[in-house]
Amino acid sequence: MNDESTGSEALIQAGASSRPSLPRAARGERFAPRAALVTGASRGLGAALARELARQGAKVVLVARERVALEAVAAEIAAQGGEAHALAADIGDKGQTHAIAGAAAALVGPIDLLIHNASTLGKTPLPILLDTECEDLGRVLEVNVVGPFRLTKVIAGAMALRRRGVVVHISSDASVNAYPRWGAYGASKAALDHLSRTWAAELEGTGVSFYAVDPGEMNTRMHAEAIPDADPSTLADPADVARRVVGLVGRAGEVPSGARVEAARLPEAP
């Protein structure tokens, strides 16, 4: 085994050795994101997160493939006095990763909050695993796991250098429970949860916190595509979930990095 540290390991060790004597939470400080990047922000929870973050004063970059819907959300936020920028891109396309990160930083400055909300169910109606095409599984993993991994690689190092940042992975109860026909999606979210925990372990002491949040069942188009017979009145409002996720972000450092939490158990943002 080589005892020499790689460049990234040296960065982490330097960050850990220079950490302040008390964490932010112990000093009575809340984490107030200045520049946020939210994927899957053209609708549902992603759009609600962008609205809430802008309401809290963050400059927000919205990423999704659907340009028209994305620009409508950004325009809505701007009309209410917030700052939001639409960036049409595919998180599952490796060739777009650096372009997304670079454009986001150019628009709002160094990203200190990254929320991985974009995801895909794969084919609907959801098939059992025996009927799931390998290519369809690959696409689900590419969007739900590999894409977030690539974007975090590009952004988290700079967060560590600045000793400031939060990364949130939007998870699912399908990551811990085996539901028939949810195999591809559930496997991708389980992998995403573990990535979040590993990022947290490897970047401990750098000032960057990682969280996986199970939003619960929400009244969204994705839920309707998966379970068309569900009663919308029994589902959570994405705006309520967004307030709880943003509340968690504000408590970064108080909640241990690497935690997996259920949104329904979180308090709302003030």
On the question of pLDDT at 7 being above 70, the answer is no
**What one-character-per-residue DSSP string does 120-185 give?**
---SSSPPPGGG--HHHHHHHHIIIIIHHHHHHHHHHHHHHHHT-EEEEEE--GGGTS--TT-HHH
Given the residues 42, 171, 188, 209, the one annotated as active site: 171
Tens of pLDDT along 34-77? 999 999 999 999 999 999 999 999 999 999 999 999 999 999 99
Query: For residue 141, is pLDDT > 60?
Result: yes
Q: Is 94 a catalytic residue?
A: no
Active-site residue, 185 included: yes
| Per-residue confidence (pLDDT) for residue 20, from 0 to 100 | 45
pLDDT band per the 50, 70, 90 thresholds, residue 224: confident
pLDDT at 16: 53
Q: Which of 119, 189, 209, 257 is catalytic?
A: 189
Dist. CA 98–CA 62, nearest whole Å:
15
The pLDDT of 186-205, averaged and rounded, is 98
Decide: helix, strand or coil at residue 55.
helix
- Count of CB atoms situated within 10 Å of the CB of 138: 14
Residues 9-25: tens digit of each pLDDT: 765 665 555 444 334 54
Average pLDDT, the chain: 91
Q: Which two tokens stand for residue 124?
A: 């609907």
